[in-house]
C-alpha cells in the first residue's frame, strides 16, 4: 500500500504558505509574525519559518522594527516591491498598451499608445502589442525583477477556456485566437480576458488595501463601448462561459438606434463615449478631461447628453440590481470623472425602479482604480497566481 503521508504534508505546507502570503499582502496595515499567527491559527514558530521562506523568495519584506512596549520590538511585514511583477496588456478601441505592476500594487513601468483601432487588423495590432510587451519585459528584467506572467484584456466576448475572442463589435474583430499573435516568450504564462472584468478585479487587487472597493459590487466602465462586471464576496462572477456583465448591450428601447452588435436600442447607443462626443460636436479622439469639461457646461447640448446618459445607465443598472441584489455600483473609465454629473439621473432611476431601494439604497461611486484599470487588473491577476501558490517561486529562488 502506498503511503500518502508525504503528499499530505506537502499539500499542507503549500496551503500554509499561501495563507501566510495572503494574510500579509491583503492586510490593511503591516502585520508582524505574531499577528499572522493570530489571524491564521498557526503557531508562531510555523509562521516564522514560512515568512522566512517568502522573504527569501522575494515575495515579502521586513520593515523597520516597531517598539510597542517592553520586550523585543515587532518586525512589520509587507509585500516586496519591485521583485516579482505581472504584466497587463490591452487592446481597446482608442489605445493599446502594457503595464507592469509589483506585489505592492505600484506601477513599475508602462507604455500606452493612444490611437483609433476600430477596424484594425487583429494580426498586426496584436503583433505590435507583443513587441511592446517584449520591451517592457526586457526593461524590468534588466533591473532584476522576475515576470510571473501576462494577461491580455480585450473589449468583447472572450471564451477564457478556449482563449478565443468571439466578438469585439467596436474593434470589428471576431473569432480571433489572440495569444499566439502576441509572440510572447515561450516560458511566460499568458492568459486572456474581458477588459471590464479585469478592470473590476483591479478594484480588488490593484491598489492599496485602504483604497480597495467593497467586496460585492457592480462595475460599469464607460468608453466607446460600455463594459460591466459582477464581483460577489471578492470573487468575479463570470457566468458559464465568462460572458457575464455585458451591460452595454442591455436594451433601453427596442425601437432605439442600431448598435454595432446587430441589435437596436442598446445602452451603448445612449451612454457610450461615442454618443456623448457626437452630441457635443466633438471628435471621438477627444481626451477624457476635455469631454468631462464640456459635459460640465451649462448649455442645452451638455445637459441633454448628461440627462440621457444618466437615465439610460440608471435604467440598465436597476435591472442588474433587482436581479443580483447588489448595493454598490462603481463607475470606471470616462464615467469616473463624470460621477457628479451622472449620479442624479442614475439615482432617480435606481430609486424608482429598484424594488428594495426604500430599505437598501444603492451607492454609486467612482472606481478607486480609474486610469487604464484593465492594465492594472491584468497585471494584478497574473500576480495573484503567485499569492495563491507561492511554492514554485520559493523553489525557484532556492534552486
State whether 287 and 336 are in the same domain.
Answer: yes
What number is the average pLDDT over the span 169-180? 97
Residues 218 and 360 in one domain: yes
Residue 80's pLDDT is what? 97
In the prediction, which pLDDT does 2 show?
A: 41
Kindly state the DSSP code that residue 232 receives in the 8-state scheme: E
Query: Does residue 209 belong to any structural domain of this protein?
Result: no
Residue 358 lies in a domain: yes
pLDDT at residue 84 tops 80? yes
C-alpha cell at 194: 474581458
pLDDT tier at 69 (50, 70, 90 boundaries)?
low
* Band of pLDDT at residue 1, cut at 50, 70 and 90: very low
Examine the pLDDT at 386 and tell me if it is beyond 80: yes
pLDDT mean over 176-205: 96
21 and 56 co-located in one domain = yes
Strands 146-154 and 157-159: unpaired
Among residues 79, 98, 120, the one where a domain terminates is 79
What would the mean pLDDT of 279-288 be, rounded to a whole number? Answer: 90
Q: Are residues 182 and 265 in the same domain?
A: no
Structural domain span for residue 138: 84-202+373-398
Pair (184, 242) in one structural domain: no
Q: Greater confidence, 68 or 179?
A: 179
Look at residue 208 and tell me if it is in a domain.
no
> Do 274 and 134 share a domain, yes or no?
no
Judge whether residue 181 has pLDDT over 90: yes
Overall domain count for the chain: 3
Domain for residue 316, yes or no? yes
User: H helices within the chain, ranges in order?
Assistant: 5-25, 33-40, 44-56, 122-141, 178-182, 195-205, 268-271, 273-279, 288-295, 300-324, 339-353, 373-388, 391-398
Grid cell locating 66: 516597531
Please check whether residue 288 lies inside any domain of the structure.
yes
Q: What percentage of the chain carries pLDDT values higher than 70? A: 95
Q: Do 140 and 230 belong to one domain? A: no
Asked if 16 and 42 count as a contact pair (C-beta separation under 8 A), the reply is: yes
User: Which of the listed residues 79, 114, 130 is the one where a domain comes to its end?
Assistant: 79
Domain identity same for 232 and 337? yes
Domain final position from 55, 79, 103: 79
pLDDT tens string 7-42: 466 789 999 999 999 999 999 899 999 999 999 999
pLDDT band at 71 (very low <50, low <70, confident <90, very high): low
From residue 132, give the alpha-carbon distance in Å to each of 136, 147, 153, 156, 175.
6, 15, 15, 22, 23
CA distances from 396 to 17, 86, 298, 391 (A): 15, 17, 60, 9
Task: Tell me the CATH number at 71.
Answer: 1.10.10.10
Instruction: Quick: pLDDT tens for 43-65.
Output: 999 999 999 999 999 999 999 99
pLDDT tens per residue across span 220-245:
999 889 999 999 999 999 998 889 99
Q: Is residue 207 part of a domain?
A: no
Please state, in angstroms and rounded to a whole number, the distance separating the CA atoms of residues 331 and 321.
14
> Is residue 128 one of the residues assigned to a domain?
yes
Residues 74 and 92 in one domain: no
Question: For residues 386 and 38, what is the distance between their CA atoms, to the nearest angstrom?
Answer: 23
> Are residues 110 and 69 located together in one domain of the fold?
no
**Contact (CB, 8 A) for 295 and 304:** no
Q: Do 302 and 251 fall within a single domain?
A: yes
CATH of the domain at 380: 3.30.420.40
- Give me the pLDDT at residue 3, please: 39
> Which residues have CB under 8 Å from 1's CB, separation 6+?
none
pLDDT of 139 strictly over 70: yes
Same domain? 94 vs 56: no
Amino acid at each position: 500500500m502506498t503511503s500518502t503521508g508525504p503528499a499530505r504534508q506537502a499539500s499542507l505546507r503549500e496551503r500554509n504558505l499561501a495563507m501566510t502570503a495572503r494574510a500579509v499582502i491583503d492586510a490593511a496595515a503591516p502585520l508582524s509574525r505574531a499577528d499572522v499567527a493570530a489571524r491564521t491559527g498557526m503557531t508562531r514558530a510555523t509562521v516564522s519559518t514560512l515568512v522566512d521562506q517568502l522573504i527569501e523568495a522575494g515575495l515579502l519584506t521586513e520593515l523597520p522594527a516597531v517598539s510597542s512596549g517592553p520586550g523585543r520590538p515587532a518586525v512589520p511585514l509587507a509585500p516586496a516591491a519591485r521583485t516579482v511583477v505581472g504584466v497587463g496588456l490591452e487592446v481597446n478601441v482608442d489605445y493599446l498598451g502594457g503595464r507592469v505592476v509589483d506585489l505592492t500594487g505600484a506601477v513599475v513601468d508602462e507604455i500606452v499608445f493612444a490611437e483609433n483601432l476600430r477596424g484594425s487588423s487583429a494580426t498586426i495590432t496584436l503583433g505590435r502589442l507583443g513587441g511592446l510587451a517584449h520591451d517592457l519585459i526586457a526593461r524590468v528584467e534588466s533591473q532584476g525583477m522576475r515576470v510571473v506572467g501576462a494577461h491580455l484584456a480585450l473589449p468583447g466576448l472572450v471564451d477564457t477556456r478556449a482563449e478565443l475572442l468571439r466578438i469585439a463589435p467596436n474593434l470589428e474583430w471576431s473569432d480571433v485566437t489572440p495569444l499566439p499573435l502576441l509572440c510572447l516568450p515561450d516560458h511566460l504564462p499568458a492568459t486572456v480576458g474581458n477588459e471590464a472584468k479585469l478592470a473590476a478585479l483591479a478594484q480588488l487587487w490593484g491598489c492599496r488595501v485602504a483604497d480597495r472597493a467593497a467586496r460585492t459590487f457592480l462595475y460599469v466602465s464607460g468608453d466607446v463601448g460600455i463594459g460591466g462586471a459582477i464581483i460577489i464576496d471578492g470573487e468575479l462572477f463570470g457566468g458559464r462561459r465568462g460572458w457575464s456583465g455585458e451591460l452595454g448591450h442591455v436594451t433601453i428601447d427596442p425601437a432605439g438606434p442600431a448598435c454595432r452588435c446587430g441589435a437596436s436600442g442598446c445602452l451603448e447607443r445612449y451612454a457610450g463615449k461615442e454618443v456623448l462626443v457626437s452630441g457635443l460636436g466633438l471628435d471621438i479622439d477627444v481626451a477624457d478631461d476635455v469631454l468631462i469639461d464640456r459635459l460640465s457646461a451649462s448649455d442645452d447640448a451638455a445637459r441633454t447628453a448628461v440627462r440621457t446618459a444618466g437615465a439610460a445607465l440608471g435604467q440598465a443598472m436597476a435591472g442588474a440590481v433587482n436581479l443580483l441584489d447588489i448595493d454598490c455600483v462603481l463607475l470606471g473609465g470616462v464615467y469616473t470623472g463624470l460621477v457628479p454629473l451622472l449620479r442624479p439621473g442614475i439615482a432617480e432611476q435606481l430609486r424608482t425602479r429598484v424594488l428594495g431601494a426604500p430599505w437598501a439604497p444603492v451607492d454609486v461611486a467612482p472606481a478607486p482604480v480609474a486610469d487604464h484599470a484593465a492594465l492594472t487588473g491584468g497585471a494584478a491577476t497574473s500576480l495573484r497566481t503567485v499569492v495563491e501558490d507561492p511554492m514554485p517561486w520559493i523553489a525557484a529562488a532556492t534552486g
